[in-house]
Homo-oligomer: A and B are copies of this chain.
Amino acid sequence: MATINEIAAKLGVSKSTVSKGLNDAPDISREMRKKILETAVELGYVNKRMHKREQKLCILIENMDYKSPNQFGHDIVLGFKQMAEPDGWIVDVVPVDTELQKGSPYGVFMMEHGYQASFVLGFSLLDPWMQEFRTTRVPTVLYDNYIKDNPHVASIGCDSQEGFELAVRHLTQLGHKKIGLISGPLDSYILKARYNAYLGAMEKYGLEINENFIGLEYYVTESTRKYIPRLLAEGVTAILFSHDIRAISAITYCDDQNIRIPQDVSLVGCDDLPMASYTQPPLTTIRQDRLALGKCGFYALSCLLNQVVIGSILLRAPLVVRSSTGPAPAAP
């Protein structure tokens, strides 16, 4: 760990200037303070006094709504706070966008706000801070993203492989053989993981893997309109979806087209959004327990803060069987 002396030497300023910068003294310029903090981060300096004074964690959140209970992020945030606040932490929820990330390096942002560690939700592979996570020394837990080789960063998420295996097993028990996948394009860690989990499960159960059974496209409604008829024309009798929202779009489409669920085609979602139990028919889906994910995020951060150098925690991904899956239709 770097000392104040090393920061002072690198910047060619006095020790007392560095100390003032680190403690946000009023008689030092904003620019000098930024330089000091940036250098402190660069050298791996940890300001113990600041951490003792303010026990603060943050949840960095992007591409994810969380304010109302029906939104995906709500219970994740709640679960995290439920663990962290009784343990004496202040938790700030910080909405993040690309602008904010470009304006300040991650380490500097964390130090400026006195955050000791962060829990990161909804980042894409293209987010600027994702690069910094490769080398940061700030304890950081990523939901559904993974960074190799950095002992200060851990990942949590649901076990896609287990979830997809349960879904495919359920469908094979119902007599389905041609099982398709409709997903967004593979530009995120989690979509790649679910895609590979689909392939792995199909292989495990000895089912045909065929690119004509798979549709990858960004826009939900277009993807539904384009791929449902194509997959059905290929003889697919059951479809897995990378997200509930895509499965729910498919339910609406099938209703319009007089395609019966599950008599003509079985559908399986992924996430178990609150609305998944209210669709017509209610959706069979691979569950993400979001409250548990939030709590797990805090456990993972606690590990990192206690020198328990974990890489990843995977939660179980149970299959919730409702009415959108049924016996495979007889061959025409």
Contact = CB atoms under 8 A, between A and B. Distances in A.
A303 B297 CA distance: 11
A174 interface: no
A311 interface: yes
B299 A309 contact: no
Given A162-B149, A316-B151, A318-B151, A303 B296 contact: yes
Interface in A166-217: 166
A64 interface: no
A306 interface: yes
Contact of A311 (B295, B309, B310, B314): B314
Contacts of A299: 299, 302-303, 308
Nearest to A153: B316
A295 B308 contact: yes
Contacts of A245: none
B312 A314 contact: yes
Contacts of A289: 309
A106 B299 CA distance: 28
A173 to B, nearest CB: 14
Contacts of A311: 159, 162, 314-316
Interface residues of A, number: 26
A148 interface: yes
A63 interface: no
Given A149-B162, A149-B166, A151-B318, A303 B295 contact: yes
A238 to B, nearest CB: 21
Interface string A144-155: 000011010000
Which 10 pairs from chain A and chain B are nearest by CB?
A292-B308, A309-B316, A295-B308, A311-B314, A313-B313, A311-B316, A159-B311, A312-B314, A151-B316, A296-B308
Interface of A: 83, 148-149, 151, 159, 162, 166, 289, 292, 295-296, 299, 302-303, 306-316, 318
